[in-house]
Amino acid sequence: MKRAFLFTVILLLTGTFLFVGCAKEKKVTAKYKIGLVFDIGGRGDNSFNDSAYRGLKQVAETYKGTIQGDPDKVNFGSEVELKYLEPKSGGQDREQLLRALAEEGYSPIFAVGFLFTESVAKVAKDFPKTHFAIIDGWIPDLTDASNITCLAFAEHEGSFLVGAIAGLKNQKGKIGFIGGMDMPLIHKFQAGYIAGALYVNPALRNQKMVLAQYIGKEPSAFNDPKAGKDIASNFYKQGATIIYHAAGGSGDGLFQAAEENKKLAIGVDSDQGLIYASAKEEATKAKGKWILTSMLKRVDNSVFLTCKDSIDKGKVAGGYRSFGLKEDGVGYALNDFNKAELADVQAKVEEIKAKIIGGEIKVPDDDAKLAEYVKALK
């Protein structure tokens, strides 16, 4: 009896070990690990961060990957492991999040936004074998051999197109611009937008016909819908018929004001008109009706193409990479909800787009160049 019992126990233990061994053998390790840290507002901002997320999703779909811990359960396979993290509301833990991904072996690691500049420069030195890509950040003296790539965009070119749309659609009133944080990057949006509107509509070349205001000088300016709404409401009362924002999450305030005043708005970064108009919530849909178009900043393309290099070529070149109209890095939104509204101006806008790509139109990208541009129009 004792021998039989002992033999049974041995068989059970052996089976257990075999089962554990088989389980270990079935566990698949991803060939590639790619990480990303969002900026303030995180996923769900319907703008900048969400565009970066779409880039990750495209990588997952194209290369059979899975986004770890994603509420949408994006899972196309186990070849690529993708992971994103979100900073605290003040963004004070940006560096820690980058380090956490680097320590876990993710590479490349994307930092979404210029506010990561100092953190990326610091962490990249401590992890020389990890590649970092920063969107909108500028780190000097990089080379192809550097483990940092700065991904920049010609926001002024895309803004020129939506400015042209605003100028063509605006018959009698003023136009407006709302910026988030008052900084050179956002002035690129403003310069391009105003230049485009003035290019197609001489009536707007009177300085009083263009309204512009920034929400603040701190990063929180990108996440203040109330301030965005207050500024927009004031602009509409002053006679603005169309307002364009480059204010991140604060842009939702513009859309609220547009709905209340029955006036038009222009979104930024993502196709905000499509996002709002196709939302499940009726209140969100109602705002989408008043979004004429959006300036598309294809952060998704920059994320996908950088990952493509990493996977297909085995490395990402360091240094600097820019995405303009020619590279499909910026543009304007055309969708099922707004195509009828834009039908009368689309041909003109496409003509302007071709002239920018061809170098016939030089789009100003700061206040000084805009001033010179306006002088040349008169």
The pLDDT assigned to 20 comes to 44
What is the rounded average pLDDT for all residues in the chain?
92
The pLDDT assigned to 172 comes to 87
Per DSSP bridges, beta strands 109-112 and 148-153 are unpaired
Is 110 or 21 the better-scoring residue by pLDDT?
A: 110
* Amino acid found at 64: K
pLDDT at 2 over 60: no
DSSP lists the bridge partners of residue 213 as 178
Compute the average pLDDT of residues 87-97: 90
* Amino acid found at 367: D
Report pLDDT digits (tens) over 39-58. Answer: 887 888 878 899 999 999 99
Report pLDDT digits (tens) over 192-235. Answer: 999 999 999 999 998 899 999 999 999 899 999 999 999 999 99
**Is 133 within 8 Å of 148 (Cβ atoms)?**
yes
pLDDT at 296 over 50: yes
pLDDT at 4 over 60: no
The pLDDT assigned to 207 comes to 85
pLDDT at 375 over 50: yes
* Amino acid found at 186: I
Q: What is the DSSP string of 307-331?
A: HHIIIIIS----EEEEE-TTTTSEE
Whether a cis peptide bond, with omega within 30° of 0, leads into 71 is no
Angle of helix 367-377 relative to helix 184-200, nearest 10 degrees, comes to 10
**Is 255 within 8 Å of 282 (Cβ atoms)?**
no
* Rounded Cα–Cα distance for residues 226 and 212 (Å): 17
Report pLDDT digits (tens) over 332-343. Answer: 999 999 999 999
The pLDDT assigned to 48 comes to 84
Determine which of 129-133, 156-160, 324-328 has the lowest per-residue pLDDT on average.
324-328
User: Which pLDDT band, with edges at 50, 70 and 90, does 5 fall under?
Assistant: very low
Determine which of 18-27, 140-149, 164-173, 296-305 has the lowest per-residue pLDDT on average.
18-27
**Which residue segments constitute the domains of the chain, with CATH numbers given?**
32-153+300-323 (3.40.50.2300), 155-296+329-377 (3.40.50.2300)
Report pLDDT digits (tens) over 238-248. Answer: 999 999 999 99
Is 13 or 250 the better-scoring residue by pLDDT?
A: 250
Return the number of other C-beta atoms located less than 10 Å from residue 121's C-beta. 16
- Within 63-175, residue ranges assigned H as helices are 94-103, 117-126, 155-169
The pLDDT assigned to 31 comes to 94
* Rounded Cα–Cα distance for residues 288 and 179 (Å): 20
The pLDDT assigned to 23 comes to 43
Angle of helix 225-237 relative to helix 251-261, nearest 10 degrees, comes to 40
* Rounded Cα–Cα distance for residues 192 and 205 (Å): 14
Task: State the distance between the two ends of the chain, measured CA to CA, in whole angstroms.
Answer: 107
Compute the average pLDDT of residues 361-374: 97
Report long-range pairs for 367-372 (Cβ below 8 Å, ≥24 apart).
367/187, 367/190, 367/191, 369/191, 370/190, 370/191, 370/194, 370/195
Tokens 């790619």 — which residue? 34
Tokens 């940006």 — which residue? 94
pTM: 0.84
Q: What percent of the chain has pLDDT above 70?
A: 93
User: Which pLDDT band, with edges at 50, 70 and 90, does 171 fall under?
Assistant: confident
pLDDT at 184 over 50: yes
The pLDDT assigned to 285 comes to 94
Determine which of 154-158, 161-165, 187-191, 246-250 has the lowest per-residue pLDDT on average.
246-250
**CA nearest to 330, candidates 307, 365, 369, 302:** 302
Structure token pair of residue 366: 């700061």
* Rounded Cα–Cα distance for residues 186 and 63 (Å): 34
The pLDDT assigned to 28 comes to 53
**CA nearest to 238, candidates 210, 259, 214:** 210
Q: Is 94 helix (H, G, I), strand (E, B) or coil?
A: helix
pLDDT at 259 over 90: yes
| 355: phi then psi, degrees, rounded to nearest 5 | -70, -35
* Rounded Cα–Cα distance for residues 238 and 343 (Å): 28
Label residue 327 left, alpha or beta by phi (over 0 means left) and psi (-120 to 50 means alpha): alpha
* Rounded Cα–Cα distance for residues 48 and 52 (Å): 7
Report pLDDT digits (tens) over 59-76. Answer: 999 999 999 999 999 999
